[in-house]
Amino acid sequence: MRAMLPLSLALLLASGQTPAQTKPEDVIRYRKAQYTVLLWNWMPLNAMVRDRIPFDAAEFTRRAERIATVPPQLLEGFAEGSGEGAPTDARPEIWKDFADFTAKMKDLERETAALAKIARGGDEAAMRAQFAKTGQACKACHDKYKAE
């Protein structure tokens, strides 16, 4: 068995690509951690848009900017071979059509970048509209590639 680099070092050396030596369970843990950060920041925006809490443009912007940092780091959390090895809702179809999965991740990257940009503009109606559009990018991928 080849010696494994510590994950942090391996990711550092990989410049955007997950090294083949990374264990599947570490990849799965990485992507779930990314989704945890995403959801943590997404839920308050969801509450604002649904008028469950007061709309706060500055807070919206702060969280939208955090959200936009996640999608560019998410794809490496779906490295080949990480469809099993730990509990996961990722469907095997991801790796059968990785080009389509990648395109859906790029859609999310584009929509979350737009969300942060529009938020900085401060137009509440536009922020609400872009939040809905971003949510559609989540749903488009989950419907096809995430188990219940």
* 31 counts as binding ligand HEC under rule CB under 6 A: yes
* 32 counts as binding ligand HEC under rule CB under 6 A: yes
Q: How far is the CB of 101 from ligand HEC (least distance, A)?
A: 6
Q: Which of 67, 65, 80, 73 is nearest to 31 (CA)?
A: 73
* 88 counts as binding ligand HEC under rule CB under 6 A: yes
Q: Which residues contact 23 (CB under 8 A, 6 or more apart)?
A: 4, 85
- Work out whether the CA dihedral 74, 76, 82, 85 comes out positive or negative: negative
Q: Of these, 48, 79, 90, 119, which contacts ligand HEC (CB under 6 A)? A: 90
Cα–Cα distance, 115 to 106 (Å, whole number): 14
Which residues bind to ligand HEC, rule: CB under 6 A?
A: 28, 31-32, 35-36, 38-39, 42, 88-90, 101, 104-105, 108, 134, 137-138, 141-142, 145-146
